[in-house]
Each structure stands twice: as C-alpha cells, then as structure tokens.
A and B are shown apart, each in its own frame.
Chain A
Amino acid sequence: MNWIWFHKLGSPKWFFHWADRWSKLIFIFGVSLFLLGIIWGLVFAPEDYQQGNSFRIIYIHVPSAMLAQSCYLALGISGIVSLVWQMKMAPIFIKSVAPIGAVMAIIALLSGAIWGKPTWGTWWVWDARLTSVLVLFILYMGVIAIQNSFDDTRLSDKAAVVISVVGLINLPIIKYSVDWWNTLHQPATFSIIEKPSMPAEMWVPLLFCVVGLYLFTVGVTCWRMQTELLIREKRSNWIKAEVLDSGV
C-alpha cells in the first residue's frame, strides 16, 4: 500500500498548494450539485402522500444532519491521528471543521423543529434524531469553547484533540442510549424521515443534496485550514513567498 499521500497530507506546504488548486473547484462543484438537488427537490419531486409539501424540508434536514455527524466523525478520527502520529495538520483540521459542523447541527436542529410543527403539531418533540443532533451540537460547542479558552496554541490543540477523541468513542454510546431512551418514552411518534419506500424522484435529488453538501464542506474546510496555516506558519519562508505571490 502506498502511504505517500498520507505523509503529503501531513505537510502544511503541500496541503496549502493542493488546497489552492482544488478547493475552489470542489466548492463550486459541490454548490452546483446542492442547488441542483434542491431545485429538483423543490420543484419537480412529487408531494408526499402523508406530509404534503412540508416533506421538501428533507432536502435540507437530512444532508445537514448527516454532515453534522460526519464532521464529528472526521474530528474524532483526526484527533486519533494527532495522538498517534503527532501530525501537525490534524489540530488545524479540528479547529477548521468544528464551526462548520456546529453550523450543520444548527441547520439540522432548526429544520427539524420547523418540520416538526406541521408534522407533530409542536416545534419540539424529544425524538431520537433531534435529541442526538442537539447533543451533537453541544459537543461541537464544547470543542469550540475549549479551543477558544486557552491562550497557548499548543495547549488548546491538545485539549481539542483529547475532547474529540473522547467524543468519538462516546458518540456511538450516546446515540445508542438516546435511541434506547426514546423507545422507552416515546413509542408512538412516527419518525419524520424513515419511510418504507421512497420513490426515486424523491431520493435521487436527496442524494444530490447530500453529495453536494459534503463537497461544499470540503471546500470551506480547505479555506479555513489555509487561514489557520497562514496564522500559525507566518514565520516560515514558504508562507511569506505564498503571501507575496498571491494577488488579493
């Protein structure tokens, strides 16, 4: 197996150049896919037989909820990478992706709550999915808070790494416990998304939205990581050359 890409990923300079070349493309492609999916979902997808048109919120809710989870997964994995290989880029990644994950969690929460009103009749139901997204949001706020509490970069990096690793291990347990708790207390509510069968006209645009939002996240994360690199590596020569070259 070829591990060169892995080592390259650990090199700030290599990453910076890679991001310069690809991040814009990824972002634009992602946004177009996302918009395509949304327009498809809003205009062309058929109405849901049970929920009517409020069903169209799915094209925001599901992708953002997935992203909120995936970002935390990525956070935790890069935390482990940082602990094991001491990779310089891992804490930078954590710092860059946490705010995006938090935004995704907020979107999932708000869209879930607004979707809940026509479906359940109230803004908030202690439904398993909404509750775990809420916990996820609090976890993100924890990571962000601990990064902003220390003056020393090395300490704040280490703290964020430890919290994301612990979070990664805890996430399945939290999710399982919330699901279990939910069956205990709310046996009757029907879940807003799980359907026996969703026709292709409904799920294909959803797939577009999901992939598009993933790519969008990758693009924005690249920019945030570049910013973080510009701050941290400001004394290094390659950053100086980079700054003088680039036209702002």
Chain B
Amino acid sequence: MAFESFSDFLAMGTHGHYVWSVYGISLFLLVGITVQSITAKKSQIKRLRKLSLGKQNTHAPD
C-alpha cells in the first residue's frame, strides 16, 4: 500500500486532479466506445428481426 489513508489516496500527493482527470476521461471514452459498439449491434439485430418477421407476415396470406 503506497498511501497512508483514503484521503491521501485521493490527493495523490499534489497531483490528484491530474491523475483522476486522466482516469475519468479514459474511463468515459472506453465505456463510451464499448456501449456504442454493443448498442449498435443490438439495434441492428432488432432491425433485421423486424424486417424478416415483417416479411414473413406479409407472405403468410398467400
């Protein structure tokens, strides 16, 4: 353990705001691209599903 207390850990010496802002921004960007990738895939699956189900319905009567 490199820190005496939790507040020490937050302060990071005098460099707390540098370290935490880097980690914050990075986390935001990494989570952002992950979420974007997952939702894009899901929404595309949903769209294709609707499309193929819709086709089945329209073809059903004949």
Contact = CB atoms under 8 A, between A and B. Distances in A.
A64 B33 CA distance: 14
A107 B19 contact: no
Interface in A205-246: 216, 220, 223-224, 226-227, 230-231, 234, 239-240, 243-244, 246
A248 interface: yes
A240 B15 CA distance: 54
Interface in A107-164: 107, 110-111, 114-115, 117-118
B9 A43 contact: yes
Interface in A37-95: 38, 42-47, 52-54, 56-57, 60-61, 64
Given A103-B30, A224-B40, A243-B45, A115 B22 contact: yes
A99 B33 contact: yes
A107 B44 contact: no
Nearest to B41: A227
Contacts of B25: 107, 110-111
Q: Is the interface of A mostly helix, strand, loop or mixed?
A: helix
Interface of B: 1-3, 9, 12-16, 18-19, 21-23, 25-26, 29-30, 32-34, 37-38, 40-42, 44-46, 48-49, 51-52
25 contacts: A42-B9, A43-B2, A43-B3, A44-B2, A52-B12, A52-B14, A52-B15, A53-B15, A53-B16, A54-B12, A54-B13, A60-B23, A103-B29, A110-B26, A114-B18, A216-B30, A220-B37, A223-B41, A224-B41, A230-B44, A230-B48, A234-B51, A240-B52, A243-B45, A243-B52
